[in-house]
Structure 1
Amino acid sequence: MNPTRRTVLLAGATAALLPSLPATAAPRPRAAALQPYASYWYPDSLPSGTPGAGITWRSLKAWRAAEDADLAFNAAREPLAARFTPTPANPTARTDQARIQSLVSFGPTSSNPSQGSATADYYAPTHWAYVDELVFWGGSSGEGLILAPNAPIVDAAHRHGVRVLGNIFLPPVAYGGQLRWTRDLVQTDSAGRYPLAAQLVAVAKAYGFDGWFVNAETGGGDAALATAMQGFLRELKSLAAAEGQRVTWYDSMTVSGSVSWQGGLTSQNEAFFRAADDMFVDFRWSASSLASSGQRAERLGRSRYELWAGVDVESNGSNTAVNWDAIVPRDSAHTVSLGFYRPEWTRNHLPAGARTPKDFHAADDRFWTGRSLDPSRPDADDPWRAPAVVVADRSTVTSVPFASVFNTGHGLRWYEDGEVASDAPWNHLGLQDRLPSRQWVVRTPGRRPAVSFDFADAWRGGSSVLVDGDLDAPVIVDLYATWLPIGVNTVVELTHRIDAGAVNIELAVATAEPGTPGATPPYTFLPVNPVNIEPVNAVNGWQALTTRLTGLTGTVRALGVRLTPSGTGPVRWRLGGLAVRDATTETPAAPTGLRITAASGGDLRFAWNAAPGAVRHYTLHRLLPDGTRRFLGGTCQLAHFAAGLTPEQGERTARFEVRSVGELYTSSAPVTVTHPW
């Protein structure tokens, strides 16, 4: 049985009991001394006893950035990208009404690696275009209650214009919650200020995320505690706003200090909503409670869409029965916004030990796009009202150069220039590209092919886009809504491979929006021709094709491809890369100061100084005695951890290099360091 919200809380309660039990748990993993993990804290005082295996108890009040040994691994570096909203892909998607908040548990509270891990079995969201905020859900009474998001998650979300909130979870007493932790959170100093509010804002600033989700579910409080919580929220919101951060309140504590989930905005929780930026409405809502909540918010001078109506999808995902008309009616204005609780069901419901990236993305496409798997052709009879049917997608593709290799942030192998550079599975969301916002709009008068991310082969990273089907007519695949200026030297580059069949490839470029929602962009179709930018990869058949935007002026508003069958039989066509650039290509500057900051056997911590100028990410390779390079990892951060390294035969000194990777995937000269065995 998959874990539910209740069993997660019970797990936290069990963990809370561990300190009183004999220390018989299994030891921590071998690399634990150097392996950096996502950070978590108690507000101030710690539990009595001894933490369980693999758990470190920390006080947020005592946290100092200068003393945080893992900060370099946990600090996100990608700024929050600005978004724009193109003409919707279908007539039902609204541009200015309901928004979506997503509460996601990416891993356990403790022992959650800072920078990915050696498995492709990971929740790697790709439908960011429909999400406004992501909450890094978690926390338990036996581990810690305040969670800072992993840097890779923040970097990926920011690249798509999505804010990420850390989580403050004060659990129910029945599941290990202690009221003293609530009192710790809202304590004041001699000046009447709330020191933990300042600490929370400082953490979010140092770690590079966007604010906090406050969930106070520990019962037993009184009106004085509720008043203190309101004061804490007001100060937190004020300090957060000065740093561009936000605060969400969860519908739990009431003005009496008791915990009573309202399922709406009422007199019992209005004071907390007024003190925060928005509120997640507990799952007990009804059509009437949401309607009255929206009206109440507007009487307060607030937007009704600052209320997120909770939809619990942890157990049944896109099979969940939801009264959609109570939240996002088809024939009238949306009532409030949507708050999805645990949409990582799309991964978790698959058989453990047999989850593949392909199966996960198929389920994720179903959840976010709907049964038709095409945002431009929603299925009106689908009982699941997918986000693509309800809210308009957004895009952050607004400047040249722009490039994507359709890397989803996890894979079965790592590829460089069409060759396997590491055969180990991996995940690291910080390496995820800006991905197509409409997965997958396919326009054809004939048979629709299947379009998906595919992990069997890639040009770079871990994935490519695969178009697979028996084509009997031209097929247009929409890729990106953009706002890219066209210059006299602007070119578009496609890196592709034909695995089966024969097709003619054209670039689809629109310099204007379609006239109505759901209409095809006014594409101009340009043939793409081989140019000798680099030799064709003779081993794997990848080709780099470029075309000038001859005759086009203004702004590129949409990019896609048109495939026309030129033979018989099924077609399998793979897109490995897309770039919009000037005719010249710049190489990024190299980082400096590469060093090994800690070592334990074959476990190494690396650090370096940032390269000047724009850098997409950094890659770490090992230089083997035979002259080959082995990919060890990539990151947006200025530090990286590598585990389990062993000497090659006869090797006395290991040699490593780090390179900067630019927006166009050009790499800098290397900076190197050695390590004696």
Structure 2
Amino acid sequence: MNPTRRTVLLAGAAAALSPSLPAAAAPKPETATLQPYAAYWYPDSLPSGTPDTGVTWRSLKSWRPADDPDLAFNAATVPLAPRFTPTPANTTARTHQARVQSLVSFGPTSGNPSQGSATADYYALTHWAYIDELVFWGGSSGEGLILAPNAPVVDAAHRHGVPVLGNIFLPPVAYGGQLRWTRDLVQKDAHGRHPLAARLVAVAEAYGFDGWFVNAETGGGDASLGADMLGFMRELRALARGRGQRVTWYDSMTVQGTVSWQGALNAQNEAFFQAADDMFVDFRWTAGSLSASGQRAEQLGRSRYALWAGVDVEANGWNSAVNWDAIVPRDRPHVVSVGFYRPEWTRNHLPADERAPEDFHAADDRFWTGRSLDPSRPDGTDGWRAPAVSVADRSTVTSVPFASVFNTGHGLRWYEDGEVTSDAPWNHLGLQDRLPSRRWAVHTDGQRPCVNFDFADAWRGGSSVLVEGELDEPVIVDVYATRLPVGVDTVVELTCRTDAGRVNAELAVATAEPRGPGATPPYTYLPVNSVNSWQTSTVRLTGLTGTVHAIGVRLTAPPDGGPVRWRLGGLAVRTASRTPAAPSGLRVTAASGGDLRFAWNPAPGDVRHYTLHRLLPDGTRRFLGGTCQRAYFVAGQEPEQGERAARFELRAVGELYTTSAPATVTHRW
């Protein structure tokens, strides 16, 4: 582990291992007493003294789901989607080799809202296509050591086929770590079992996430503690496997019970690797140690790609000095997988006044796609070897109906059918769509236009796709890699708008894979309308059979067309339109002034999410929020125009963004 990273890690442990979030991202408990937060615990015994304001000390050993008042707000509901690997977007990205693990702190350990917050300034991760495992990073000695991911993160990740792990962080002694917490974690009962192993598996099951990342960095242990930790890991993994969960080990504690970061798979940590599904290799690795580690894993009958080589990007992002050839060489098989530590740098390094959503996504695209901002055209001179250069993207778009309004999970306002129904900024990753996996692959013989998520206007949600530039030749934009069956009734709906210039738009549909990596899919082009207002065109796939492998758009401007601004607001593939059934039993379960907790009975059948509106005295509806859960919290409601009671409406939203009839409730002031 290099000294800079060690300094950063330890300092982070003292400060809850969290990015600097704006106040709006973490409302203070004393001003929002009903606000639910992501859960965190100590293994068993609590610190001495009293917690800081806004911090709640909890014991995991004492946790029971029936006694958890915030469980309904924190339990993810989206199942982990299967995904496939299409033909790579370029000739350098590999399949079935290196994978990517991402260790992300989405918010502080304490005071991290369960269901989003009233700011667009948020790490709204969208490049799930390159990630194989997400770790919900955090924990501190003064707040709690065991973190359950909040539901929006899990729901968004699961839509894209990415498992999410909670974090167990036992910090160094110098920064508040106490060896008794390690002993608490690995304690045994009278039958020789590890009760907290079972409790951890129960938490993951109740909260709907996929397992645990175990990082034991508290020094002072001995061989006896090392043996207890190994027994704990073996039991945790056995129980986790029985529930479809995973366990990852961090290269820190050795089999002797001491903390000594190896930067390799060797005799000091091999037993822990064997007791886990995979291992994060600490940052002190070298090319030689990774090569030897990969060989050692294979000698054990394990995949070398079950080792994540730590790449610390917290301080410098894409400017970090990384020996990429030691991990993902261009001229031979990949050595091991990549473990990114704190890629939310793409948000955190931006000045506070330059964190508009478009600023964040520009930086995040640069990190994951590379300097070219086009995975089909990697920049060979770029010193940052972005994941898109080495790792093939994956997609979960495999069944009909499928729809997307290109919602990234945050925005400056909320749109419904092109109209603003809330002008308040927001974030909630659980509302994020299944997003295009390769952003943005553009095929043209002419000038490449800019393609980005845009937040100045949207059809639904908070964002749309904007294509902007001089179209001197036809331009094809790959939108989705898919595996969608084509039937006699299959149609594609495209919602788009031309903001500037003149452009002929066509739907591009491919029923076969490209001839090879980096090639344009063999599209068939079907006309659609594009006018200067939002319009939905319904296109029948007449003459096409089999399976849709790719969906895109082709844009052509007349020779004298000038600059073009063209916006894509929605895409749907369906055979029939379905309206979901309405939820029932909408009720206010708790109120404190204008802060309200809602709960309801779920609608039968398939529901994508729920939306909550307030019906105002003038008959208009104001969007208050949406969630995939069966409970929701809103803050700061006030009487409107002298009203004595507020009226609220809840609707179920289907996969095609059709909405149910409302369930209603009235709350008297």
Instruction: State whether TM-score is above 0.5.
Output: yes
Which secondary structure state, in structure 1, belongs to the residue aligned with residue 586 of structure 2? strand
Matched, 1:592 2:593: no
- Alignment-derived partner of residue 472 in structure 2: 472
Counterpart contact for 1:529–1:547, Cα < 8 Å: no
CA apart distance, 1:10: 2.9
For the 8 Å contact 2:15–2:140, the answer to whether it is kept is no
Contact persistence 2:5–2:312 (CA under 8 A) = no
Residue in structure 2 matched with residue 407 of structure 1 by the alignment? 407
Q: Corresponding residue for 1:185?
A: 185
Determine whether 1:355 maps to 2:355.
yes
Match of 1:673 in 2: 665
CA distance in 2, matches of 1:231, 1:292: 26
The percentage of aligned residue pairs carrying the same residue is 80
The RMSD of aligned alpha carbons is 1.5
Uncovered stretches (5+) of structure 1, i.e. residues with no partner: 17-26, 531-535
Does residue 282 (structure 1) correspond to residue 282 (structure 2)? The answer is: yes
* Deviation string, structure 1 residues 277-322 (Cα, Å, up to 9, x no partner): 1000000000000000000101111100000000000011111110
Written as runs of structure 1 = structure 2, the 5 A alignment for 1:497-516 is 497-516=497-516
SS of the residue corresponding to residue 205 of structure 1 reads helix
In the alignment, does 2:51 pair up with 1:51?
Answer: yes
Residue aligning to 1:616: 608
2:16 and 2:108 in contact (8 A); partners too:
no
- Residue type of the alignment partner of 1:464: S
Q: Does 1:10 align with 2:11?
A: yes
Q: Does 1:568 align with 2:569?
A: no
Pair 1:137-2:137 in alignment:
yes
Matched with 2:338 is 338
1:148-167 CA-to-partner distances (Å, cap 9, x unmatched) read 00100000000000000000
Amino acid at match of 2:504: N
Note the C-alpha offset of 1:569. 1.1
Alignment check: 8 A CA contact 2:146 2:166 kept: yes
- Residue number in structure 1 paired with 2:322: 322
Taking the aligned partners of 2:605 and 2:163, their CA distance within structure 1 comes to 24
Q: 1:481 corresponds to which residue?
A: 481
For the 8 Å contact 2:38–2:114, the answer to whether it is kept is yes
Instruction: Classify the secondary structure of the residue corresponding to 1:666.
Output: coil
Matches within 5 A, 1:425-440: 425-440=425-440
Distance change >3 Å, CA 14–CA 499, structure 1 → 2: closer
Instruction: Output the CA distance in 2 between the equivalents of 1:133 and 1:605.
Output: 32
Kindly provide the amino acid, as one letter, of the partner of residue 277 in structure 1. Answer: D
Separation (CA, whole Å) in 2 of partners of 1:379 and 1:37: 42
Matched-pair contact (CA < 8 Å) for 1:13–1:174: no
Answer yes or no: is 1:554 the counterpart of 2:515. no
Measure the CA separation in 2 of the matches of 1:348 and 1:296.
37
What is residue 245 of structure 2 aligned with on the other side? 245
**Contact 1:12/1:142 (8 A) holds in 2:** no
Please say if residues 30 and 54 of structure 2, whose CA atoms lie closer than 8 Å, have aligned partners that are also in contact.
no
Letter in 2 for 1:545: S
1:354, CA displacement in angstroms? 3.4
Aligned partner of residue 200 in structure 2, secondary structure: helix
> In structure 2, what is the equivalent of residue 524 of structure 1?
524
Output the amino acid matched with 1:128: W
Contact 1:492-1:546 at 8 Å conserved across structures:
yes
Residue in 2 aligned with 1:662?
A: 654
Alignment-derived partner of residue 228 in structure 1: 228
1:541 to partner: Cα distance: 1.3
7 and 285 in structure 1: CA distance in 2 versus 1, 3 angstrom threshold: closer
Query: Structure 1's 641 and 8: CA in aligned 2 closer, same or farther, altered over 3 A?
Result: farther
How much does 1:650 deviate? Answer: 1.5
In the TM superposition, what is the alpha-carbon distance from 1:14 to its structure 2 partner? Answer: 6.7
Instruction: Check conservation: 1:529, 1:546, Cα contact below 8 A.
Output: no
Deviations 1:339-377 (A, max 9, x none): 000000000000024311111000000000001110011
Structure 2: where are the runs of 5+ without partners? Answer: 18-26
Contact 1:15 1:52 in 2 (8 A): no
Task: Measure how far apart 1:32 and its partner are.
Answer: 3.3
CA-to-aligned-CA distance 1:628-675 (integer Å, 9 cap, x gap): 000000000000000000000120010001000001100000000010
Task: Please list the CA deviations of residues 393-442 of structure 1 after superposition, one character each: whole Å capped at 9, or x if unmatched.
Answer: 00000011100000000000000000000000000000000000000000
Q: Distance in 2 between matches of 1:371 and 1:7?
A: 27
Q: TM-score with structure 1 length normalisation?
A: 0.96
SS of the residue 1:272 aligns to: helix
**From 522, 539, 542, the counterpart of 2:534:** 542
Q: TM-score, normalised by structure 2?
A: 0.97
Q: Name the count of aligned residue pairs.
A: 657
Question: Cα distance, 1:125 vs. partner?
Answer: 0.8
CA distance in 2, matches of 1:619, 1:428: 12
Q: Which residue of 1 aligns with 2:111?
A: 111
The aligned residue for residue 19 of structure 1 is: none
Residue 571 (structure 2) aligns with: 578
